Structure 1
Amino acid sequence: MAKERRQEEEAWRWRGGILGIAILSRLLILALTLLFRHLASPYDSSALIDPPCLVSSTSQEPAGIADRVQDPGRRTWGRRIGAAIEGSIVWDGVYYVRIAKCGYEYEQSHAFLPVLPLTMRFMTNYVLFGMIPLIGHRATLAFSGYLINNLSFLGAAFYFHRLSCYILRDRKLATSATLLFCFNPASVFYFSIYSESMFSLLSFAGLWCLLLGAKWRATLLFGLSGAVRSNGVLNAGFLLFQAMHEAHNYFFFLNKPLMTGRVIYFAVLQVLGSILPFVSFQGYGYYQLCWTSNDDELVVCRPWCNSSIPYLYGFVQNHYWNVGFLNYFHWKQLPNFSLASPMLLLATCAIVSYAKRRPLVFFSLGLARQSGSWREAALLSLLDRYRPVLDNQGAQARSVNMPNVVPAEPIVHKELKQRHLQRPNASQFQMHNQSWQESQEDAVSFSAGFYSASTLSFLLKLGFMTAVASFIMHVQVATRFLSSSLPIYWYAASKMESSVHGKRIQSIIWTLFLCYISVGTLLFSNFYPFT
């Protein structure tokens, strides 16, 4: 007990250090932003454009505040602070603040999903209500956005470290990867009124719940992430991937068709639950924009409404921002390709390196039984993997057969107990009479680091996102689009740790990341941006 307590305290000290580094990274971005704003005028001139809401009743300004906001006796420092905050609202932040204030007025605003602006509105109206008379309603909305995103980033860094310790089973490597995430090339977007921070927090927290076996909590968090950014629907792939492995095992090796059907049934429900928020928002846009009442008749308004599958988000991206397959491949976009190339190259190298190192695991999707790694690849929780071991040898088996399962996370078992997952349904995890030997084989085959089978599903998702970022999206968006992909940082950290010229490689990677942060902040603050 004393040893476990010391390990737990040490783990929390590590996490405290991670949060300190994350805070330091936010202060660095703030300092760079203020410096570049002082040296040059912003390129985006839309920050101070704030016309009245199209329908006055849609304005979400709290009742009774308007007169106080316009009070000529308001303090000068309040006006200055409010003007400075409003002047910092650029690019996507203009849309998010406008949506938080007036709702979805325009068709193109539906490209920005609702969870972030709704949270900004809630915090402004119920938490930061007292700031509105001092700095103004719009400035308070923007301040709420900054506060939400930077707090979300701290939470994202916290869960990033926990996930990395669990997957990599190497605290030093996990810490290096987390530091790279804290100072990632898209850091300015995690600081500003963009959706990256909240999306990362929800995605990482959902993955942590999935690893602990709390699939319905993971489903809820994945669904919320899909209502923050459209690529959140890809998180449903983790549920599908895990269900594929479980169904394959029950059907082909344990000869349990009923359990196979049960796994598939719950997987379908969970996947539907994880994509439901995004689909519901598309339905809201269809209801709002496609039909109007004219003498008690419904009249179609927009051309996309006549599609067999009316997909508002895709139409808006293509119609207003020219997003489509190879639409961005022009010689004049070569500078933007050069800006995105470091992140795209790092993602590609991570995938290719893993496929070359572990081709059987990669190309069999982790299903190859002879590798003894299918449970690891499926991201099954600890008790899902080792319940047969514990049942056959008792509590002592944990120290004998699982010496290196999660050395950096000694409180995993405690959290499982708190989540009431210590005693899973026996019928659900009843194994073949050879399961004891299989579990021993899995325990032996576990490998730490980037090349463990646990990273497989993350790499498959990264491969899809890299292809989308390279050939469909605006390529300058690739940096922030891929910035929440964990394998990129795991791969970079592993190269830093394993290289013969480790110190030199570390210096090069850190120099590139910090230079990229500076250049990105400069472009975002003053000139033509990444996005």
Structure 2
Amino acid sequence: MMDQPSSRVTNFIFGLNYLVNHSDKLQCLKWAFLSRILCLIVSIAAINIIPPHEADAFVLDKFLHNQTTINKIVNHTLVGFARWDSLHFIQIAKRGYGHESQIAFFPFYPGVVRAVKYTLFPWTTVSHDGLLIISGVLVNLILFMISSMLIHHLTILIFRNRSMAMESVFHFCFNPASIFMTSCYSENLFQFFTLSGLTSIEFGRLSLASVFFACASLTRSNGIISLGFVAYWHVSHICILSGRVLRSARLVEQFGIFLSHALMIVIPFIMFQSYSYYFICFEPDLPDRKDFCASMISIPYTFVQKKYWSIGLFKYYRLKQIPNFLIASPMIYICSWIVCKYLQLNGKQFLDIIFNFRSRRRGPTLWNNGHVLPYIVHLAFLTFVSIFYMHVQVITRFVLSSTPIVYWAISSSPNNKKYYFKLYFLSYFFLGTILHSTFYPWT
């Protein structure tokens, strides 16, 4: 059954409350909050003990320059959460897009930070930078706590396994990309929208899921990939309907509904690319872009990524990038292992999992659950893009903010393997927080 627009939000919220008892909710929130406090403590210690690295990166002019009380406090506490790409998001939240390179950073997160800043602190503009950092960290704290419960709910829905759900939340709270889920990055907002969309699909609320995925596509470029989950749901129902007599009208209706959902997800991305095209080609303060603007099929995001970050197939395969490949190697191994092991264990039933949607099993672990096939395909795609197309070290935060399947895989692993996974998670939790907060290159 398709969801009714008038009741989908109410039913979605009611369904979440019904799934989880009060003690589980408190435990999720407790782990999420304590992990953020621990991340904050480590970051504060790092910025006050270790001299900041002189990084070759974008730096805001006169950043935290005004010596107000708020700025002084932020300089000794939260400035570790305003490093690297965070500075782009803060600049966009502060003044909007001012340089073509900034269109690589999608507008939803800086828009939320700006709105929160002017809602909570409407009376002052003197401590603008410090208040924007406070707002960005506060937004991510709230979203992280909500996301911890969403992972629990989604795990219960798919696996019907309470212990696995709690363990997955624990791994999420202390994950290797934890620093990016506290800093002024868009990973947390993207994660929230993605998990909300995936949970909505499990309730059969496809319109609501499409709204969440549309917001995700306005938060990060890979948000439009989530269209695959909606497509998979529709294909499964089309295949079921095609086996019935006199259902051709329903097939056409189902296909039309899918197109409407697909447009909902893709249009925000297209709108931002249209704005970016106008910004590059018609902004009077920017240099002439005749080569780019002459092509009507050029995508501004791809143009900027290629120009400023040398993103492209095998372009990162250089000897000097070996350290970054080493940093990324644990996550590359984990992602590859998950995909290969799932295909190995379900090889004999693989065609049945793909085509016989009615018989998809909902086992208590990742390895015997046919319902997670779209998650496996999604992870395989993210891994391929990360290894061969992107800056490979980004795979850690790229994957962990886009899918919960890594947490499920670790929770479904034998205890001897879990030990090494937890060692990796905790070591990157602390090391990543220290290095990122002091402006050293990290994932």
Compute the TM-score of the two structures, normalised by the length of structure 2: 0.89
> Equivalent pairs: percent with the same residue?
29
Question: Per the alignment, do residues 510 and 310 of structure 1 end up closer, same or farther by CA in structure 2, a change over 3 Å counting?
Answer: same
> Does the CA-based 8 Å contact 1:101-1:121 persist in structure 2?
yes
* 1:317 is the counterpart of 2:317: no
Question: Per the alignment, do residues 85 and 447 of structure 1 end up closer, same or farther by CA in structure 2, a change over 3 Å counting?
Answer: closer
> Does the CA-based 8 Å contact 1:161-1:178 persist in structure 2?
yes
In the TM superposition, residue 206 of structure 1 has moved relative to its aligned partner by 1.2
Pick aligned residue for 1:476 from 393, 400, 421 = 393
* 1:463 is the counterpart of 2:380: yes
> Which residue matches 2:49?
39
* 1:108 is the counterpart of 2:84: no
> Which residue matches 1:389?
none
Question: Per the alignment, do residues 208 and 131 of structure 1 end up closer, same or farther by CA in structure 2, a change over 3 Å counting?
Answer: farther
> Does the CA-based 8 Å contact 2:161-2:364 persist in structure 1?
yes
> Which residue matches 1:383?
none
1 CA distance for matches of 2:186 and 2:75? 23
* 1:171 is the counterpart of 2:162: yes
Question: Per the alignment, do residues 363 and 51 of structure 1 end up closer, same or farther by CA in structure 2, a change over 3 Å counting?
Answer: farther
Matched to 2:412, the amino acid is: S
Question: Per the alignment, do residues 233 and 364 of structure 1 end up closer, same or farther by CA in structure 2, a change over 3 Å counting?
Answer: farther
Equivalent position SS for 2:412? helix
Question: Per the alignment, do residues 182 and 255 of structure 1 end up closer, same or farther by CA in structure 2, a change over 3 Å counting?
Answer: farther
> Does the CA-based 8 Å contact 1:343-1:479 persist in structure 2?
yes
CA deviation vs aligned residue, 1:469-491 (integer Å, no higher than 9, x gap): 00000001111101122111111
Pick aligned residue for 1:81 from 55, 67, 73 = 73
Matched to 1:41, the amino acid is: P
1 CA distance for matches of 2:86 and 2:58? 9
2 CA distance for matches of 1:129 and 1:91? 27
> Does the CA-based 8 Å contact 2:140-2:181 persist in structure 1?
yes
* 1:492 is the counterpart of 2:401: no
> Which residue matches 2:21?
11
Provide the aligned length of Structure 1 versus Structure 2. 421
1 CA distance for matches of 2:147 and 2:289? 41
> Which residue matches 2:11?
none
Equivalent position SS for 1:93? helix
> Does the CA-based 8 Å contact 1:131-1:140 persist in structure 2?
no
Pick aligned residue for 1:124 from 117, 122, 135 = 117
2 CA distance for matches of 1:466 and 1:360? 24
> Which residue matches 1:525?
437
Bigger Cα displacement from structure 2, 521-530 vs 29-38 = 521-530
Question: Per the alignment, do residues 13 and 92 of structure 1 end up closer, same or farther by CA in structure 2, a change over 3 Å counting?
Answer: same
Matched to 1:490, the amino acid is: W
Pick aligned residue for 2:88 from 72, 80, 95 = 95
2 CA distance for matches of 1:226 and 1:184? 23
In the TM superposition, residue 286 of structure 1 has moved relative to its aligned partner by 1.2
Larger Rg: 1
> Which residue matches 1:307?
295
Question: Per the alignment, do residues 361 and 95 of structure 1 end up closer, same or farther by CA in structure 2, a change over 3 Å counting?
Answer: farther
In the TM superposition, residue 128 of structure 1 has moved relative to its aligned partner by 2.4
Matched to 2:405, the amino acid is: P
Pairwise CA RMSD: 2.5
> Does the CA-based 8 Å contact 2:292-2:298 persist in structure 1?
yes
Matched to 2:394, the amino acid is: V
Structure 1: segments with no counterpart, 5+ residues: 1-6, 53-68, 294-298, 378-444
2 CA distance for matches of 1:35 and 1:47? 24
1 CA distance for matches of 2:427 and 2:391? 22
Equivalent position SS for 1:269? helix
In the TM superposition, residue 290 of structure 1 has moved relative to its aligned partner by 1.3
Matches within 5 A, 1:84-483: 84=76, 87-88=79-80, 89-130=82-123, 132-133=125-126, 136-254=127-245, 256-291=247-282, 301-363=289-351, 366-367=354-355, 369=356, 374-375=357-358, 445-450=361-366, 451-483=368-400
> Does the CA-based 8 Å contact 1:85-1:143 persist in structure 2?
no
> Which residue matches 1:406?
none
2 CA distance for matches of 1:114 and 1:33? 27
Question: Per the alignment, do residues 170 and 193 of structure 1 end up closer, same or farther by CA in structure 2, a change over 3 Å counting?
Answer: same
2 CA distance for matches of 1:519 and 1:292? 42
In the TM superposition, residue 446 of structure 1 has moved relative to its aligned partner by 4.0
2 CA distance for matches of 1:164 and 1:458? 12
Matched to 2:256, the amino acid is: Y
In the TM superposition, residue 210 of structure 1 has moved relative to its aligned partner by 1.5
> Does the CA-based 8 Å contact 1:114-1:228 persist in structure 2?
yes
> Does the CA-based 8 Å contact 1:19-1:158 persist in structure 2?
yes
1 CA distance for matches of 2:349 and 2:111? 42
> Does the CA-based 8 Å contact 2:158-2:362 persist in structure 1?
no
> Does the CA-based 8 Å contact 2:186-2:219 persist in structure 1?
yes
Structure 2: segments with no counterpart, 5+ residues: 1-16
In the TM superposition, residue 38 of structure 1 has moved relative to its aligned partner by 2.3
2 CA distance for matches of 1:33 and 1:226? 30
2 CA distance for matches of 1:79 and 1:524? 20
CA deviation vs aligned residue, 1:240-290 (integer Å, no higher than 9, x gap): 111111112212455522211111111011011011111100001112221
CA deviation vs aligned residue, 1:87-122 (integer Å, no higher than 9, x gap): 432101110010011111110000000001111111
1 CA distance for matches of 2:20 and 2:146? 19
* 1:515 is the counterpart of 2:431: no
2 CA distance for matches of 1:127 and 1:375? 50
Matched to 2:222, the amino acid is: N
Compute the TM-score of the two structures, normalised by the length of structure 1: 0.74
> Which residue matches 1:427?
none
Matched to 1:275, the amino acid is: V
CA deviation vs aligned residue, 1:435-485 (integer Å, no higher than 9, x gap): xxxxxxxxxx54222121111111111110000000000001111101122
Matched to 2:72, the amino acid is: R
1 CA distance for matches of 2:290 and 2:426? 46
1 CA distance for matches of 2:91 and 2:192? 23
Matched to 2:265, the amino acid is: S
> Which residue matches 2:5?
none
> Which residue matches 2:10?
none
Matched to 1:479, the amino acid is: T
> Which residue matches 2:8?
none
2 CA distance for matches of 1:376 and 1:475? 38
Question: Per the alignment, do residues 292 and 17 of structure 1 end up closer, same or farther by CA in structure 2, a change over 3 Å counting?
Answer: closer
